[in-house]
Amino acid sequence: MSNVENTLSIIKPDAVERNLDSQIKEMFIKNGFDIIKEKKIQIDKIEAEKFYKVHETKPFYNDLCTYLSSGPIVVMVLEKENAILANRELMGSTNPKDAKEGTIRKKFGLSIDKNSVHGSDSLENAKIEIDFFFKS
């Protein structure tokens, strides 16, 4: 039985700044994802705080929100069989130092903060995150 899912992907400011968005999108396409929605935007800190609200108690929350709002980002809806897990595998570990060869974060990530991409971590969060950026 098929289990096609949608997940939210963000190409973060460090990667957009280095003009890596085309290369990262190519990695998604090569790995069988369809990019069904896409836009390049910059959000303000208040919006970043809303987006990362699940992390509001974490010590890195303030820096994380400052960072996500520091420059343009590319937000996308990716579609594929088991997209949420497949995207997490393709991104690699949160900390690029721990990410496996062939993953986006291993290839492009600079640090745990500047780790080039974000991806939804569950079906429930994927729906919330897609609505956050694409609800019309």
Point out the residues that are catalytic: 118
Of the two residues 2 and 124, which places its CB atom closer to ligand CMP in the complex? 124
In the complex, minimum distance from the CB of residue 73 to ligand CMP, in angstroms, rounded to a whole number: 11
Point out which span in 19-27, 39-47, 108-116, 127-135 binds ligand CMP (CB under 6 A).
108-116
- Give, as ranges, the residues between 72 and 91 that touch ligand CMP (CB under 6 A): none
Q: Which residue number is nearest to ligand CMP in terms of Cβ?
A: 118
Q: Pairing mode, if any, of strands 117-119 and 4-11?
A: antiparallel
CA Rg, the chain, in Å? 14
- Give, as ranges, the residues between 14 and 53 that touch ligand CMP (CB under 6 A): none
CA distance 35 to 12: 16
> Cβ neighbours of residue 65 under 8 Å, at least 6 residues apart?
45, 48, 49, 52
Residue with tokens 């973060």, as numbered in its chain: 12
Which residues are at the interface with ligand CMP (CB under 6 A)? 55, 60, 64, 94, 112-113, 115, 118
